[in-house]
Amino acid sequence: MIKINTGILAVNGLLTMTLVGQQGVLAQENAKGTAPNFIVIFADDMGYGDIGVFGHPTIRTPNLDRMAMQGQKWTNFYCAAPVSTPSRAALLTGRLPVRTGMSSEKRRVLFPDSKGGLPQSENTIASLLKEHGYRTAAVGKWHLGHLSQYLPTNHGFESYFGIPYSNDMDKIENTDYLTLIENERYQAYNVPLIRNEKILERPADQRIITRLYTEEIISKILEYKNEPFFLYMAHSFPHIPLFRSADFKGKSLAGIYGDVIEELDWSVGQILETLEKEGLAKNTLVVFTSDNGPWLTFNTHGGSAGLLSGGKGGTFEGGMRVPAIFWWPGKIKSGVIMEMGMTLDLLPTFCKLANVTVPNDRIYDGYDISPVMFGTGPDPRDVVFYYRDVDIFAVRKGAYKAHFFTQSEYGPDARKEHNPPLLFDLNVDPSEKHNIADKHPEVIEAIKKIMNQHRATLKPVENQLEK
Amino acid sequence: MIKINTGILAVNGLLTMTLVGQQGVLAQENAKGTAPNFIVIFADDMGYGDIGVFGHPTIRTPNLDRMAMQGQKWTNFYCAAPVSTPSRAALLTGRLPVRTGMSSEKRRVLFPDSKGGLPQSENTIASLLKEHGYRTAAVGKWHLGHLSQYLPTNHGFESYFGIPYSNDMDKIENTDYLTLIENERYQAYNVPLIRNEKILERPADQRIITRLYTEEIISKILEYKNEPFFLYMAHSFPHIPLFRSADFKGKSLAGIYGDVIEELDWSVGQILETLEKEGLAKNTLVVFTSDNGPWLTFNTHGGSAGLLSGGKGGTFEGGMRVPAIFWWPGKIKSGVIMEMGMTLDLLPTFCKLANVTVPNDRIYDGYDISPVMFGTGPDPRDVVFYYRDVDIFAVRKGAYKAHFFTQSEYGPDARKEHNPPLLFDLNVDPSEKHNIADKHPEVIEAIKKIMNQHRATLKPVENQLEK
Per-residue pLDDT tens over the stretch B19-40: 333 444 444 444 445 799 999 9
Contact residues on chain A for B433, CB-CB shorter than 8 A = 299
| A274 CA: distance to closest CA in chain B (Å) | 23
- Residues ≥6 apart with Cβ < 8 Å to A103: A81, A85, A86, A89, A97, A387, A389, A390, A465
Q: Which of B183, B193, B186 is nearest to B168 (CA)?
A: B186
CB contact under 8 A, B433 and A336: no
Residue by residue, DSSP assigns A15-82 as ------STTHHHHHHIIIIISPEEEEEEESS--TT-SGGGT-SS---HHHHHHHHHSEEEEEEE-SSS
Residue A429 sits at the chain B interface (C-beta within 8 Å): yes
Positions in chain B whose pLDDT score sits under 50:
1-32
Quote the CA–CA distance of B151 and A359 in Å, as a whole number: 72
- In angstroms, the Cα distances linking B225 to A5, A411, B12 are 68, 62, 11
Residue A431 sits at the chain B interface (C-beta within 8 Å): yes
Residue A254 sits at the chain B interface (C-beta within 8 Å): yes
Residue B16 sits at the chain A interface (C-beta within 8 Å): no
- Residues ≥6 apart with Cβ < 8 Å to A281: A272, A275, A328, A329, A330
Residue by residue, DSSP assigns A344-387 as GGHHHHHHHHTT-PPPSSS-------HHHHHTSS--S--EEEEE
**C-alpha neighbours within 13 Å on the C-beta side of residue B380:** 14
Residue B336 sits at the chain A interface (C-beta within 8 Å): yes
Q: Which of B54, B115, B184 is nearest to A52 (CA)?
A: B54
CB contact under 8 A, B300 and A427: no
Torsion, Cα of B335, B337, B338, B343 (10° steps)? -150
Smallest Cβ distance to B434: which of A254, A300, A426? Answer: A300
Q: Does position A3 have pLDDT exceeding 60, yes or no?
A: no
Query: How many CB atoms are closer than 10 A to CB A150?
Result: 22
Quote the CA–CA distance of B156 and B118 in Å, as a whole number: 12
Residue B335 sits at the chain A interface (C-beta within 8 Å): yes
Q: Is B203:B139 a contact under the CB 8 Å cutoff?
A: no
Classify strands B72-78 and B335-342 as parallel, antiparallel or unpaired. parallel
- N-to-C CA span, chain A: 31
pLDDT at B33: 56
pLDDT at B95: 98
Query: How many CB atoms are closer than 10 A to CB B197?
Result: 15
pLDDT at B405: 98
Q: Is B230:B287 a contact under the CB 8 Å cutoff?
A: no
More confident residue, B193 or A15: B193
Q: Is B73:B432 a contact under the CB 8 Å cutoff?
A: no
pLDDT at B34: 74
CB contact under 8 A, B304 and A307: yes
Q: Which of A200, A197, A214, A242 is nearest to A140 (CA)?
A: A214
Contact residues on chain B for A255, CB-CB shorter than 8 A = 425, 427-428
pLDDT at A33: 56
Q: Does position A331 have pLDDT exceeding 60, yes or no?
A: yes
Q: Which DSSP letter does residue A153 get?
A: G
- Residues ≥6 apart with Cβ < 8 Å to A363: A95, A99, A457
Q: Is B274:B221 a contact under the CB 8 Å cutoff?
A: yes
Chain pair A-B, CB pairs under 8 angstroms: 111
Q: Which of A355, A192, A326 is nearest to A268 (CA)?
A: A326
pLDDT at B455: 97
Quote the CA–CA distance of B163 and B112 in Å, as a whole number: 11
Output the average pLDDT for chain A.
Answer: 93
Residue B258 sits at the chain A interface (C-beta within 8 Å): yes
Contact residues on chain A for B53, CB-CB shorter than 8 A = 53
CB contact under 8 A, B300 and A429: yes
Torsion, Cα of A79, A85, A86, A89 (10° steps)? 90
- Model pLDDT for residues A98-113, shown as the tens digit of each residue: 999 999 999 999 999 9
Considering only CA atoms, give the Rg of chain B.
21
More confident residue, A133 or B33: A133
Smallest Cβ distance to B300: which of A65, A69, A434? Answer: A434
Say whether pTM exceeds 0.90: yes
**β-pair partners for B78:** B321, B342
Q: Is A365:A356 a contact under the CB 8 Å cutoff?
A: no
Quote the CA–CA distance of A69 and A188 in Å, as a whole number: 40
Q: Going along B343-467, which residue ranges are E strands?
A: 383-388, 391-397, 400-406, 416-425
Classify strands B391-397 and A198-201 as parallel, antiparallel or unpaired. unpaired
**β-pair partners for B392:** B387
Contact residues on chain B for A56, CB-CB shorter than 8 A = 55, 75, 307, 430
Q: Is A3:A20 a contact under the CB 8 Å cutoff?
A: yes
Classify strands B198-201 and B193-195 as parallel, antiparallel or unpaired. antiparallel
Q: Is A35:A355 a contact under the CB 8 Å cutoff?
A: yes
**β-pair partners for A392:** A387
Torsion, Cα of B434, B440, B444, B446 (10° steps)? -140
- Model pLDDT for residues B384-395, shown as the tens digit of each residue: 999 999 999 999
Smallest Cβ distance to B60: which of A52, A60, A336? Answer: A336
Cis peptide preceding B294, ω within 30 of 0: no
pLDDT at B106: 93
Quote the CA–CA distance of A65 and A266 in Å, as a whole number: 11
Q: Does position A251 have pLDDT exceeding 90, yes or no?
A: yes
Cis peptide preceding A82, ω within 30 of 0: no
What are the φ and ψ backbone dihedral angles of A284, each rounded to 5 degrees? Answer: -135, 120
Contact residues on chain A for B426, CB-CB shorter than 8 A = 58
H or E segment to which residue A197 belongs = none
pLDDT at B24: 44
Smallest Cβ distance to A55: which of B55, B60, B257? Answer: B55
